Amino acid sequence: RKEVEQDPGPFNVPEGATVAFNCTYSNSASQSFFWYRQDCRKEPKLLMSVYSSGNEDGRFTAQLNRASQYISLLIRDSKLSDSATYLCVVSRLNSGYALNFGKGTSLLVTP
Amino acid sequence: NAGVTQTPKFQVLKTGQSMTLQCAQDMNHNSMYWYRQDPGMGLRLIYYSASEGTTDKGEVPNGYNVSRLNKREFSLRLESAAPSQTSVYFCASRTGNNEKLFFGSGTQLSVL
């Protein structure tokens, strides 16, 4: 089983829609969790950290379920500029706590 | 602050040639990382340096070497390039465990 698994998509949604991405991780001892955004041919950039209690940043909400080893990202009122690949990221406990990336979920928001 | 700077941005090599990818960060970060990204594979860790003076293998280290020259700089060397090393390479850094990563803008490498 891969350490971090995501539905690759693509998710095609109209502007204004709500879309949710899911991610599962295999190592129950993982300690830090993030969502990164990557635009085509660009470097990944941090979208938000994910905290145990759940957290929100504007239109974006992240949830963590440690018991189910599951992370989610909810985007409300989608904008055209939200079109990108969203990477689920989990710390790994070997490799110096380097971050382990999922393969990403592609989102296309259409007019 | 420039953040994480990688050079070159693009490189074409012939099989068997060698080259070094340079990475420098000006954020006083302790940890630095090299990832490669291939279509359908996601980002995979090649080597990392948890602190100045230390380096360790990641998930896909074969064919690569690294040097943590000082706290700022972490270079990746391909001694004898192979077509399988055609990829986009990202350098990243962060201040410590459980902190977010900052990435350089990437190097597109093609090995013919």
Give CA–CA dist B22/B73, Å, rounded.
Answer: 8
For residues A73-81, give the mean pLDDT: 97
Q: Give the pLDDT band (50/70/90) at residue B2.
A: confident
Which of B101, B105, B108, B110 would best serve as a mutation to test chain A binding (most A beta carbons within 10 A)? B101
* Contact assessment for residue A82 and residue A91, using Cβ atoms and an 8 Å cutoff: no
For residues B31-36, give the mean pLDDT: 94
Q: Tell me what the pLDDT averaged over chain A comes to.
A: 91
Q: Give the pLDDT band (50/70/90) at residue A97.
A: low
Which chain A residues are closer than 8 Å to B99 by Cβ?
32
Task: Establish if B48 touches chain A: CB-CB under 8 angstroms.
Answer: yes
Nearest alpha-carbon partner for B31 in B107, B92, B103: B92
Q: Given a cut of 90, is residue A29 above it in pLDDT?
A: no
State how far residue A72 is from chain B, nearest Cα, in angstroms: 18
Task: Give exposure, B53-63, as e/b (b: 16+ Cβ within 10 Å).
Answer: eebeebbbbee
Q: Is B83 exposed, middle or buried (0-12, 13-18, 19+ CB in 10 A)?
A: exposed
pLDDT at A52: 87
A72-76, A93-97, B30-34: segment of lowest average pLDDT: A93-97
Copy the structure tokens of residue B19: 């080259």
Which chain B residues are closer than 8 Å to A89 by Cβ?
101
pLDDT at A30: 82
Give CA–CA dist B14/B22, Å, rounded.
Answer: 19
Q: Given a cut of 70, is residue B50 above it in pLDDT?
A: yes
Taken in order A23, A25, A28, A30, the sign of the CA dihedral is negative
Report CA-CA distances (Å) from A32 to A25, B30, B76, B98: 11, 18, 26, 5
CA angle (A97 as vertex; A49, B57 as ends), nearest 5: 135
Q: Give the pLDDT band (50/70/90) at residue B67.
A: very high
